[in-house]
Amino acid sequence: MKMRTGYLSEVSKVEVKVFEVPNVDEDSVLIKVKAAGICGSDLHAFRGSHPFRKPPMILGHEATGDVVKVGAKVKGLNVGDRITVEPIKACGKCSYCLSGSYNLCPERVGAGVRGWLGTFAEYFVVPDMRAYKLPQELDYDLGVLAEPLAVGTHAVRLANIKKGSTCVVLGSGTVGMLAGVAAQEAGAGRVYCTDLNRFRLQIAEGFGLYPIKADEVSVEEMVKSFTPDGADVVLVAFTSSQAFGQALKLVKRGGTIIVIALFTDPVAIDMNTLQGNEINLKGSHIYTREDFESAIRILVKRKEDLRKAITHHVSLDGISGALEMLADPNNTAVKVIVEP
């Protein structure tokens, strides 16, 4: 059986290409993809700036769909189940996997990489342990948000946000604003989000976040007018060499900086400020099952609110145009859904 896919044949060129529907092994399920989200990493791959997502490849790793085939050893999933996918394969044997931190597995593979076909396709194979049944309250579109929201819930868990904490999110793309929502749900009292794109800030404001257009006002002055000592937590969700310097100015002494964004170039850090102010600096790498389950619970709780993040729908033929739109810094898009 054949399937159509959104295939990145070379940098800046996505075409519809036909592949054989992938085989299902004994521990996997095949889904008919109903919705797949365009992520910032897809845009980086399209531009040729992603460190490991390189053409040629089928793009995409966020997806929801219907189970149409199950492997011989799969339990708990049946044909017809509606699922969202956690697009990770790990070895299951190393110390990281055995401790539950499979996101750190040295052999970890993401959808679209090292022979695993991506989700911009009519069909997608996922390990059964990485498939989550969609609650009745969630449709396919909202289910797509589970993956980027899980990135945020993981970062927030690492930040150990306390009730009433002040948090700043640098960068209000999908992951940034959803990380802000995760911080709210963890008990943060006030969550600021920064960006240069006015449309994204309007969406974030609709989530109850405090928007700051970073090229019009001083982020530091805005934050410190409310909390003079600085923010308890700063989440860096924007790939910029200036982000670290800004984070160090925004965070309080003894506060925490969590890096979510994937940087492609080395970044200079003021180590004297980091050391002298006893600032906690942590990296946050994707998620684990705990984070994915938390993300689904938040989606159910705030489904009508978070639906505002879904701004566009395209077919496989429209992926290239959608990526070109997202490359425009003044675009009016947040999450673009691909419907294969």
Tell me how far the alpha carbon of residue 268 is from its chain's centroid. Answer: 25
Are 17 and 51 contained in the same domain?
yes
- With tokens 């700051």, the residue in question is 212
Are 157 and 128 contained in the same domain?
no
- Specify if 265 maps to a domain: yes
Predicted local distance difference test score (pLDDT) of residue 285 = 97
Are 9 and 71 contained in the same domain?
yes
SS3 readout for 161-213: CCCCCEEEEECCCHHHHHHHHHHHHCCCCEEEEEECCHHHHHHHHHCCCEEEE
Predicted local distance difference test score (pLDDT) of residue 266 = 86
- Specify if 145 maps to a domain: no
For the chain, where are the E strands, in sequence order? 2-10, 13-20, 28-37, 57-58, 62-70, 82-85, 88-89, 109-110, 123-127, 131-133, 166-170, 190-195, 210-213, 231-236, 251-259, 280-283, 310-314, 335-338
Are 108 and 208 contained in the same domain?
no
Predicted local distance difference test score (pLDDT) of residue 231 = 98
Are 101 and 47 contained in the same domain?
yes
- Specify if 324 maps to a domain: yes
- Specify if 289 maps to a domain: no
Instruction: Read off the CATH number of the domain in which 173 is found.
Output: 3.40.50.720
Q: Residue 43 corresponds to which tokens in the numbers above?
A: 């845009």
- Specify if 140 maps to a domain: no
Instruction: Read off the CATH number of the domain in which 93 is found.
Output: 3.90.180.10
Are 120 and 206 contained in the same domain?
no
Parent domain of 243: 150-283
Are 156 and 218 contained in the same domain?
yes
- Specify if 251 maps to a domain: yes
Are 189 and 274 contained in the same domain?
yes
Are 61 and 114 contained in the same domain?
yes
Predicted local distance difference test score (pLDDT) of residue 239 = 87
- Could you give the number of structural domains in the chain? 2
The answer to pTM > 0.95 is yes
Are 168 and 275 contained in the same domain?
yes
pLDDT digits (tens, 9 = 90+) for 180-221: 999 999 999 999 999 999 999 999 999 999 999 999 999 999
Q: Which residue numbers in the chain have pLDDT < 50?
A: none
Are 129 and 176 contained in the same domain?
no
Supply the DSSP symbol for 221.
Answer: H
